[in-house]
Amino acid sequence: MAIPVNKKIYPRSSYFETIYLKNVINSPNIIVGDYTMYNDFAKDPTAFEKNNVLYHYPINNDKLIIGKFCSIACGAKFIMTSANHSLESLSTYPFPIFVEEWDLDWKDVTTAWDNKGDIVIGNDVWIGYEAVIMPGVHIGNGAIIGTRAVVTKDVPPYAIVGGVPAKIIKMRFADDVIDKLQNLQWWNWSYDKIKDNINYIQNGNLQMLLKTN
């Protein structure tokens, strides 16, 4: 009997470099959708929370939210808001962190950085090898993030971006197709419905998918 997706760590029973990411996350501030996968051929992929989500301090309460059916390549990094140093100060030095040294108040520690907010990744997003997603960035459904891109701004649905800083290279589909895919939301279908329509998804047969919706 197959293990339910909400329990399974390794999609392939004899291959341990790729995981269903949701099932190894412990932090309540990291939320991952079903079937989203992470591949790591250099380190233990189950250590994603430690190795790939950086400067994620509970005191800030910022969230990393990743949708369903995303593909995250080896070494991708998510830089959370506590990595920032405050630009409101006359100095970029994070004095509020060093409470004991400067006789400061712990309640002011978060003033050491500018709060950029949550990182939100949509559904069916492909994040390439060693790409870096910066604090507060929102990435739309179906987007592709190129290898070693540094994403500093929001990415529209179904855009392909690359570079440092990342810029739109092209859109994957015409606007009307993107609108239909956004409305279709196949990633929210049941397992059985997706299974029945995998060929149409793989072959780009949008018209048949629209008929089944």
Task: Give the pLDDT confidence of 107-116 residue by residue, as tens digits.
Answer: 899 989 988 9
Task: Return the percentage of the chain with pLDDT > 90, whole number.
Answer: 87
Task: Give the pLDDT confidence of 15-53 residue by residue, as tens digits.
Answer: 999 999 999 999 999 999 999 999 999 999 999 999 999
DSSP per-residue string spanning the chain = -PPPTTT-S-SSTT--SEEEGGGG---TTEEE-TT-EEE-SSS-GGGHHHHTEES--GGG---EEE-TT-EE-TT-EEE-GGG---SSSS--S-GGG-HHHHT--GGGGGGGS-----EEE-SS-EE-TT-EE-TT-EE-TT-EE-TT-EE-S-B-TTEEEETTTTEEEEESS-HHHHHHHHHH-GGGS-HHHHHHTHHHHHHT-HHHHHHH-
Give catalytic status of residue 85 as yes or no: yes
pLDDT of residue 212: 84
Catalytic residue among 8, 43, 77, 85: 85
* Domains delineated in the chain: 18-172 (2.160.10.10), 174-213 (no CATH)
pLDDT of residue 26: 95
